[in-house]
Amino acid sequence: MEEALFFVSALGALGGAVGVIAMRNPFYSVLSLVVHLFSLASLFLLLTAAFVAAAQVVVYAGAVMVLYIFVVAYVGGGGESAWEPIPGQRFLAPLLGIALFVELSVAVLASGLRALGEEGPDVKAGFGDPAAIGTLLLEKFLLPFEAASILLLLAAVGAIVLAARRREEAA
Amino acid sequence: MTPEWFIVLSALLFATGATGILIRRSPMVILLCLELMLNAGNLALVAFSRMVGNEEGQIFALIVMVVAACEVVVGLGLIVAIYRRRLPLNVDDLRELRG
């Protein structure tokens, strides 16, 4: 059961990821990313990370993707030029990607990962639920939590400054 | 499930995102590929958190999500600003900052 759920979600995540880079129209790329994010959320549920999965669906698939869709609708999904500054880029890039995957896999699988065991330790029932994450965030990780909130505020102000219409432009 | 499966899937998703950044020209799709790479990192963090039996890795994943949201907001603001100035939305044409 667990294995079946893993492989279905993994296929969804991988298919979504390939869809993002393969679709000509940016709008379809965004929709593929939504598929990817939902599959990833179910993988998080398999790893007993309920709160991260919920945040993934609500924040990413809910809010961030809507933002993307608004911007795609605003600027329009223009086709990309076939001009290549580096000859053979479209051929070389996947080779580099495969090389990166092989290297990462070798680096991780050759390490002491086996020492973690087959299934991981048995965790208590509330592992990764909102209460546990909230306690950790507000006690042990209070400073990173506040820093994240300031970062979000700065990003919001920065986006308004970047994208707002200048007064002389509007006139 | 053994941790290897999750880590290898994470590596595969990361490599897919990196490939996308190399072959796509539209800054919007490049931002989407950055999301793919950040999410691959998140998957590895959550997998290790489960395998060690400690929730702190999930906090890391949440902070990565916050940073990704900030990156999206600023990136999309830049894209809107580029579009307003009637510049081409193509990373090969936007290379005045190239050294």
What DSSP state is assigned to residue A23? -
Residues of A numbered 10-39 whose beta carbons fall under 8 angstroms of chain B's beta carbons: which are they?
Answer: 10, 13-14, 17-18, 20-21, 26, 29-30, 33, 36-37
The residue among A108, A79, A33, A107 whose CA lies nearest residue B24 is A79
User: Rounded mean pLDDT of chain B?
Assistant: 88
CA distances for A5 relative to A8, A41, A63, A119, B83, angstroms: 5, 12, 26, 16, 42
- How many residues make up chain A in this entry? 171
Q: Which residue of B has its CA nearest to A128?
A: B55
Residue B37 pLDDT class (50, 70, 90 cuts): very high
Residue A82 pLDDT class (50, 70, 90 cuts): low
What DSSP state is assigned to residue B56? H
Residue B3 has what pLDDT? 77
What DSSP state is assigned to residue B95? -
Exposed/middle/buried for residue B52 (C-beta within 10 Å: 0-12, 13-18, 19+):
middle
pTM for the full predicted model = 0.89
The residue among A83, A29, A114, A152 whose CA lies nearest residue B30 is A29
The answer to whether B15 contacts A104, with C-beta atoms less than 8 Å apart, is yes
Backbone angles phi, psi at A48, to 5 degrees: 50, 45
Residue B64 has pLDDT above 90, yes or no: yes
Residue B25 has pLDDT above 90, yes or no: no
Exposed/middle/buried for residue B86 (C-beta within 10 Å: 0-12, 13-18, 19+):
exposed
Q: What percentage of chain B has pLDDT greater than the value 70?
A: 97
Residue A169 pLDDT class (50, 70, 90 cuts): low
Task: Say what angle helices A26-46 and A2-22 make with each other, to 10 degrees.
Answer: 160
The greatest distance separating any two alpha carbons of chain A, rounded to the nearest whole angstrom, comes to 66
Residue A15 has what pLDDT? 94
Q: Which residue has the higher pLDDT, B11 or A110?
A: B11
Residues A139-146 have a mean pLDDT of 92
Residue A155 has what pLDDT? 93
Backbone angles phi, psi at B28, to 5 degrees: -70, -45
Residues of B numbered 6-35 whose beta carbons fall under 8 angstroms of chain A's beta carbons: which are they?
Answer: 6-9, 11-20, 22-26, 28-29, 31-33, 35
Instruction: Tell me the fold of B3-84.
Output: Helix Hairpins (1.10.287)
What DSSP state is assigned to residue A129? S
> Best interface-test mutation with B: which of A21, A86, A106 has the largest number of B CBs within 10 A?
A21
Residue A117 has pLDDT above 70, yes or no: no
The answer to whether B11 contacts A2, with C-beta atoms less than 8 Å apart, is no
Among A43-47, A72-76, A107-111, B94-98, the range of highest mean pLDDT: A43-47
Give the pLDDT confidence of A10-60 residue by residue, as tens digits. 999 999 999 998 888 888 999 999 999 999 999 999 988 899 999 999 988
